[in-house]
Amino acid sequence: MTDDPWVPPVVLLAVDLVILTLRDSRLHVLLVRRGVDPYKDAFALPGGFLNHAGEDITAAAHRELSEETDLDVETLSLEQLGVYGDPGRDPRGRVVSVAYLAIAPSLPEPTAGTDAADAGWQPADHVLSGDLQLAFDHRRIIADGVERARVKLEHSALATAFCGPTFTITELQNVYEAVWGIRLDPRNFYRKVQKTEGFIVPAGTARKAVTGRPARLYRAGPRTVLYPPMIRPAPVSIEGGE
Amino acid sequence: MTDDPWVPPVVLLAVDLVILTLRDSRLHVLLVRRGVDPYKDAFALPGGFLNHAGEDITAAAHRELSEETDLDVETLSLEQLGVYGDPGRDPRGRVVSVAYLAIAPSLPEPTAGTDAADAGWQPADHVLSGDLQLAFDHRRIIADGVERARVKLEHSALATAFCGPTFTITELQNVYEAVWGIRLDPRNFYRKVQKTEGFIVPAGTARKAVTGRPARLYRAGPRTVLYPPMIRPAPVSIEGGE
DNA sequence: AGGCATTTTTGTCAAAGTGACAAGAAGGTA
DNA sequence: TACCTTCTTGTCACTTTGACAAAAATGCCT
């Protein structure tokens, strides 16, 4: 150890985006296929390095979001998920990545961006099961993002972000069932969301039937924090894991 | 804009620690007084830059924790709080800081570390009210840390981390009251924690009386996730903040 | 020693919330 | 018209909560 004036080490800063949506009543995550090494041809989260040393991190996340997808950035909730900076997670050097979580309503297949040779929605359970080869530590980031979404569904009105501008109560229930991975009783769910004041508000016209009784339409209410929360049935095992 | 091969910009990576404890039934946060510019003589969170480019971020947090305090690092819960990297938050350049949250049982005044001219516990409400001048964006980081602790008290057994190895139910109640900033009914609190299986378990000897009936002693149980959660009364205003 | 203040612990009771389930309402379709 | 499907409104037993009373177990004071 020398006594030279110590200079702090520098790192490369990147952002990664976990973009979740519902397609066909299943949770999907947006992945791109890497066109360059490392992990060439493997699936990865959309993201990239800061443009310049002065770029705001959240702004970079928004920029990547609009670069790699054609989603309406303004209306999307974008929330910091955490930092992933293990040494060795990127063979190119010390790369520290800030992960963001975004929720999008169901949308058509996105068009590929510039960096990505291919981009598309992949079923979340398929990705998390390990069948799909993912670059870097992106599987863990996705797992954290899905878990965050599960928790947020309990305490916030995030579920409406998965839906379009108007939706039926059954569609909202499908969101909860898909993200939580369980089934809920339609009648109890109906009662619960109805009495959670400000969660959803009626939206004029009330028809949306392919078969069966037409459902009423609702839109997201003014409330963002749900109190009392929606209750996820018995998510905890006997010995209460973290 | 040139067409030179683009190289990603680098940033300086730091860690900051929000260390909370209970002293005299009030929530306190550990602050150091900065000995060097910028913000010389102002209060700041303990923390610092990575030692070297290969250092693990969580390891750096643990290192700073043991450097600047004489707490038993092993037993402390240490959780990532978030990334704070606004351009301009540090006049020295582009510094991105990873904040961690730690909870400690009540302890004597820590001895000053090497980088810190002074270190000590400051009441959280005093810090957050704005009376105290803080370096960088550390007031916001502390606010986020306190809010995180409030939420974690609801869903995890974190409250026991504020207590010593054994504690009474009233002491545990004091934790909730101090962190949440409200008062709770002792009888209902007693009933609630008792029937939350695995939260606390009896600890042999049962005496701890200065005045009044001696209280039974407990220790933290095996459960880390509380289900059903402890309920924080009406934290939400009419129009649901966040 | 006896009474009193204090704190812990055990109950009680009405109100609200939850889980399970039946049945009516409002469409399509054979 | 009969039937099938889905949405919506109830019902009921059980649990949990919030507010409060009262008993139990000390120390202190006179």
pLDDT tens digits, one per residue of B199-214: 999 997 777 778 999 9
Inter-chain touch A222–B240, beta carbons under 8 Å = yes
Residue B7 sits at the chain A interface (C-beta within 8 Å): no
Say what the pLDDT of residue B152 is: 96
| Overall average pLDDT of the B177-205 stretch | 95
d(CA B193, CA B199): 7
Residue A26 has pLDDT above 90, yes or no: yes
Nearest-nucleotide field for B231 (CA, C1'): D17
CA of residue A27 to C1' of nucleotide C26, angstroms: 31
Q: How far is CA A160 from the centre of its chain?
A: 13
Structure-model confidence comparison of residues B138 and B7, the more confident one: B138
d(CA A84, CA A202): 42
CB neighbour class for B185 (10 Å; exposed up to 12, middle 13-18, buried from 19): exposed
Closest chain B residue to A82, measured at CA: B82
Strand segments, DSSP code E, in B75-208 are 77-84, 95-103, 116-123, 200-202
User: Which amino acid belongs to residue B174?
Assistant: N
Residue A5 sits at the chain B interface (C-beta within 8 Å): no
- Mean pLDDT computed over every residue of chain B: 88
Structure-model confidence comparison of residues A233 and B58, the more confident one: B58
Of B83, B115, B76, B78, the residue nearest B98 (C-alpha): B83
Pairing assessment for the beta strands B47-49 and B26-34 based on DSSP bridges:
unpaired
| Overall average pLDDT of the A134-159 stretch | 97
pLDDT > 70 in chain B, percent? 88
User: Which amino acid belongs to residue B182?
Assistant: I
Q: Are A232 and B225 in contact (CB under 8 A)?
A: no
CB neighbour class for B88 (10 Å; exposed up to 12, middle 13-18, buried from 19): exposed
Residue A242 sits at the chain B interface (C-beta within 8 Å): yes
What tens digit of pLDDT does each residue of B24-83 get?
999 999 999 998 889 999 999 999 999 999 999 999 999 998 887 766 666 678 999 999
Residue B179 has pLDDT above 80, yes or no: yes
Structure-model confidence comparison of residues A235 and A204, the more confident one: A204
Say what the pLDDT of residue A117 is: 53
A98 neighbourhood in chain B, CB within 8 Å: 83, 85
Predicted TM-score (pTM) of the model is: 0.91
D7 C1' closest Cα residue: A213
DSSP A73: G
Residue B235 has pLDDT above 60, yes or no: no
Say what the pLDDT of residue A209 is: 72
Residue A13 has pLDDT above 80, yes or no: yes
Residue A225 sits at the chain B interface (C-beta within 8 Å): yes
| Overall average pLDDT of the B162-185 stretch | 96
Q: Are A21 and A103 in contact (CB under 8 A)?
A: yes
The set of residues, in sequence order, having a beta carbon less than 8 Å from that of A42 and lying 6+ positions away, is A33, A34, A133, A134, A135
What crossing angle do the helices spanning A169-180 and A138-155 adopt, rounded to 10°? 140
- Mean pLDDT computed over every residue of chain A: 88
pLDDT band at A4 (very low <50, low <70, confident <90, very high): low
Say what the pLDDT of residue A116 is: 52
Inter-chain touch B240–A234, beta carbons under 8 Å = no
Mutation target for B interface from A57, A81, A83, A97: give the one with most B CBs within 10 A.
A83
pLDDT band at A110 (very low <50, low <70, confident <90, very high): low
Inter-chain touch B227–A241, beta carbons under 8 Å = no
pLDDT band at A238 (very low <50, low <70, confident <90, very high): very low
pLDDT band at B110 (very low <50, low <70, confident <90, very high): low
Inter-chain touch A87–B55, beta carbons under 8 Å = yes
Residue B88 has pLDDT above 50, yes or no: yes
Residue A33 sits at the chain B interface (C-beta within 8 Å): no
Say what the pLDDT of residue B241 is: 34
pLDDT band at A81 (very low <50, low <70, confident <90, very high): very high
pLDDT > 70 in chain A, percent? 88
